A = this chain, B = another copy of it.
Amino acid sequence: MTPLKPILTVDVVLLTLVQGRLHVALMPRDKAPYQGHWALVGGYVHVDEDTDSASAALRTLKGKLHFEPRHLEQVCTQANATRDPRGWSASIVYLALQPVEVLTPLTDQAGLQLFDVSGGVAGLPDNLAFDHAELISLAIARLQAKAAYSTLVAYFLPDVFTIPELQKAYESVLGQKMNAANFRRKILESAQFQLAGMAHSTGRPAQAYRLVPYLETFTRALV
C-alpha cells in the first residue's frame, strides 16, 4: 500500500507599508474549503508549469494580481496533518515586499484588500482561511528579524527614495524612532545605496538614492 501524497501549495505573505503602518494583502477565497474567508495569495504547485517553488509563487502573483514583487524570499514550510481539511498539507511560505503604490490600484479590482498588521495579527478579521494568521505572523517575524541589518525595508519604497523616507520606513517596521543624523551616517557608510538625483517636496529638497544591486546586508545593525 502506497501512502497518499500530501498536498503541496505555496502561500505568499505580501506586505506593504501604508502611511507608516505595515499591511498584509489578502483575497477572499472563491472555493471551499474556507470559501469567502480571507486568504493569502497562493495556490497549488503545478508540476507541469512550475520549475520550482519560487516560480510557483511568482506565477500565482502574476495570475491573480498581474505583477512581480520587488522582493520575494522563502520564509519556511508549514506542513502538518491538520492545517487543511482536505488532508495532509504542506505550504511553502514566501514573504513578498512591495511599495503600496502598485497595490492600491489592485484593491477592489481583484478583491484584494490591505489589512493593518502594525499591531500584529490580532487585529485581522476572524474569518481567515487555514492557518494563514500563523503564516502571516511567521513572515512578519522574519521581516522584523532581518530589518535591522539588511536593506529589506527599502523594498517597501519606490525604486528611488530619499534617506528621510527610508528612515520612516525603518521606523515603521522596527517600531522605534531613530536619530536622523546617525541613521544617515549608517546608511551612507553601508555603501548599499547610490545617488539618483534630487527629490522635491515641501522644505529643502533631498538627495535621492536607489539600492545598489545584489547587496543586502549591513556589517553592523542599524539599531
**A53/B80 contact (C-beta < 8 A), A3-B44, A6-B47, A47-B5 known:** yes
| A77 close to chain B: CB less than 8 A | yes
Which residues of B sit under 8 angstroms from A82, Cβ to Cβ? 51
Q: What chain B residues lie within 8 Å of A47 (beta carbons)?
A: 3-6, 81, 87-88
A40 at the interface (CB under 8 A from B): no
The reply to whether B5 and A79 contact each other, CB–CB distance below 8 Å, is no
Task: Determine the distance from Cα of A50 to Cα of B87 in the docked complex, in whole angstroms.
Answer: 12
Q: Let me know if A108 is at the binding interface, CB within 8 A.
A: no
Could you say which residues of chain B place their CB within 8 Å of the CB of A80?
51-53
* Interface 0/1 of A78-100, CB less than 8 Å to B: 01111000011010100000000
A residues lining the B interface (CB < 8 Å): 3-8, 44-48, 50-53, 74, 76-77, 79-82, 87-88, 90, 92
